[in-house]
Amino acid sequence: MNPNLNLLQPYPFERLRALFAGVEPIHYQQQPINLSIGEPKHETPQLIKQAIIDNLTALSAYPATKGDVTLRQAISAWIARRYNIPAPNPETEILPCLGSREALFSFTQVVIGNTTGNLVVSPNPFYQIYEGAAYLGGAQPYFVNSDPARNFAPNWASVPEDVWKKTKLLFVCSPGNPAGNVTPLEEWQYLFELSDKYGFVIASDECYSEIYFNEKPLGILQAAQLSGRTDYKNMICFSSLSKRSNVPGMRSGFVAGDKDWMALFLKYRTYHGSAMSGVISAASVVAWNDESHVEENRRLYQEKFTKVFPILAPVLDVNMPDASFYLWAGTPIDDTEFSKSLFKQANVALLPGSFLSRPGSADGINPGFKRVRIALVAPVEQCVEGAERIAEFVRKCC
């Protein structure tokens, strides 16, 4: 057995099931409202479903590891439109992937070598794939705590030089999970300069990029172009259709950036066996080429926040995010006890913040303690009712 498997912690949702095990909601006749999991619940657009039906004959052929050229061209064109930058080369700078989760994990294995002492720097709280990918690659994660004064952006300036010297890979999540913070250009440029100096790769997880409220979130490739870094050296972007197009079951996304790393990643994937089915590829082309369904999706999330935030703001320590579909709320008591009691008293499921974070590598403080993540993925009416139940619970019990 790979001994590094022993380093993996249970996934947050496994811990949530264990926390709720044996707990029976007092008002069991109430409709259960699950706001714990970031799984899109909006209807999958009909044009995507129809594209799957129309292309079922593609099941009869093995797909290419590099992906269909039409899909790579569609992704390239979308990046150019979305970020107002020159289109990346679809032959050398883009690879389709089976959702960003798969690619984030496998790309980490490409970057990390067999030498000991390698570090992977991660925001804290974080998407747990970052930690697992680091451990299974033989590296040690270094957790950089979020800063509440900066809308919970990671405090990259707190990382000491001896850590950067050992760093092989830096994960950035923008818009962030769980706080929805967006990395500004000045911060990107700071990280680019660190990458130049110490030689690490920047992996930018941008799966929430199309769910925003005001300005479009800045992506790593756009920040690179604005900084005159047109070769994307040591910069990789990860994106997905799951949240953008409400197709989490399709497992479709892309990786784009530094052509040298993309060539190595393609070589790895030739053995890894993660080629995208022609059926999914054809549906993905349709999805990337259409923005009307994305605009409607964004409108629905904006409506939820407009209605939910005023209900929760008077009772919880919570701010509007820049983007994404989460609220990162402070709790008056321990986050696990808050979540467990809320489930029992109000039949509403939230995710304890401490399940999404670790004690910070610099200070030992868990930044998710006494916070919860509220995923506004349910229909508008359920989100509003859930918020009302949360507010009532806080007023009565806390």
Model pTM above 0.85: yes
pLDDT tens by residue, 232-270 = 999 999 999 999 999 999 999 999 999 999 999 999 999
Asked whether residue 211 is assigned to any structural domain, the reply reads yes
Q: φ and ψ at 271, to 5 degrees?
A: -95, -30
**Quick one: 259 and 332 in the same domain?**
no
- Same domain (yes/no): 253, 314: no
Residues 282, 298, single domain; the answer is no
pLDDT of residue 1: 83
> Last residue of a domain, which of 290, 315, 340?
290
The DSSP letter of residue 232 is -
Percent of the chain with pLDDT over 70: 100
pLDDT mean over 57-76: 97
Mean pLDDT of 308-315: 98
Above pLDDT 90, what percent of the chain? Answer: 94
17 plus 160 within the same structural domain = no
Q: Residue 379's domain is classified under what CATH number?
A: 3.90.1150.10
Domain finish residue from 270, 290, 310: 290
C-alpha R_g of the chain: 21
- Residue-wise pLDDT tens digits, 159-175: 999 999 999 999 999 99
Tokens 């569609």 belong to residue: 74
* Range 296-319 average pLDDT: 97
- Between CA 273 and CA 258 the distance in angstroms is 22
Q: Are strands 119-124 and 140-147 parallel, antiparallel or unpaired?
A: parallel
Q: How confident is the model at residue 195 (pLDDT cuts 50, 70, 90)?
A: very high
Tokens representing residue 58 in the block: 């593609």
Q: Report if residue 49 sits inside a domain.
A: no
Residue 120 belongs to some domain of the structure: yes
Whether pLDDT at 30 is above 90: no
Which of 263, 290, 317 corresponds to the end of one domain? 290
Nearest to 197 by CA among 171, 167, 155: 167
Residue 27 has pLDDT above 80, yes or no: no
pLDDT of residue 273: 86
Within a domain: 108? yes
Kindly list the distances between the CA atom of residue 235 and the CA atoms of 73, 139, 201, in Å, as whole numbers in the listed order: 20, 20, 6
Q: What is the mean pLDDT of residues 344-360?
A: 97
Q: Residue 126: which region, alpha, beta or left (left: phi > 0; alpha: psi -120 to 50)? A: beta
Based on the domain organization, do 266 and 298 belong to the same domain?
Answer: no
Query: d(Cα 145, Cα 37) in Å, to the nearest integer?
Result: 22
Please provide the DSSP assignment of 292-312 as one string: HHHHHHHHHHHHHHHHHHHHH
- Do 18 and 102 reside in the same domain of the chain? no
Closest CA to 111 of 225, 275, 257, 226: 257
Cβ atoms < 10 Å from Cβ of 15: 17
Q: pLDDT, tens digit, for every residue of 140-155?
A: 999 999 999 988 999 9
Q: Is the model's pLDDT at 50 over the cut of 80?
A: yes
Judgement on whether residues 219 and 315 belong to the same structural domain of the protein: no
φ and ψ of 66, to 5 deg:
-75, -15
State how far the Cα of 170 lies from the Cα of 149, in Å rounded to an integer.
Answer: 22
Rounded CA separation 141/118 (Å): 9
Task: In whole angstroms, give the CA distance from residue 88 to residue 94.
Answer: 7
For position 279, what pLDDT does the model report? Answer: 98
**54 falls within a domain:** no
pLDDT at 325 over 90: yes
Q: How confident is the model at residue 397 (pLDDT cuts 50, 70, 90)?
A: confident
Rounded to 5 degrees, φ, ψ at 348 are: -120, 130
Report the length, in residues, of the chain.
Answer: 398
The Cα 321–Cα 288 span in angstroms is 25
Q: Assess whether 209 and 344 both reside in one domain.
A: no
Judge if 70 and 214 occupy the same domain. Answer: yes
Task: Answer whether residue 346 shows pLDDT above 80.
Answer: yes
| pLDDT over threshold 90, residue 372 | yes
**Neighbouring residues of 41: CB distance < 8 A, sequence distance ≥ 6:** 246, 377, 378, 379
pLDDT tens digit string along 109-142? 999 987 789 999 999 999 999 999 999 999 999 9
Q: What is residue 33's three-state secondary structure?
A: strand
What is the extent of the structural domain holding 85? 60-290
Give me the residue label for tokens 């006494």: 370
For the stretch 46-54, contacts whose Cβ atoms lie closer than 8 Å and that sit 24 or more positions apart, written own/partner, are: 47/286, 47/287, 47/290, 47/293, 48/245, 48/247, 48/250, 48/283, 48/286, 48/287, 48/293, 49/283, 51/282, 51/283, 51/285, 51/286, 51/287, 52/279, 52/280, 52/282, 52/283, 54/282
55, part of any domain: no
Q: Give the whole-angstrom CA distance, residue 331 versus residue 317.
A: 7
Residue type, 370: K
Statement to judge: residues 208 and 184 lie in one domain: yes
Instruction: Please report the pLDDT score of residue 257 as a whole number.
Output: 98
Total domain count for the chain? Answer: 2
Residues 35 and 69 occupy one common structural domain: no
Query: Which residue did the predictor score with more confidence, 29 or 175?
Result: 175
Q: Does 178 map to a domain? A: yes
Confidence of residue 20 (pLDDT cuts 50, 70, 90): very high
- Segment 355-372 shows an average pLDDT of 96
Q: How large is the average pLDDT for residues 179-203?
A: 98
CATH code at position 200: 3.40.640.10
Is residue 348 domain-shared with residue 369, that is, in the same domain? yes
Let me know if residue 372 belongs to a domain: yes
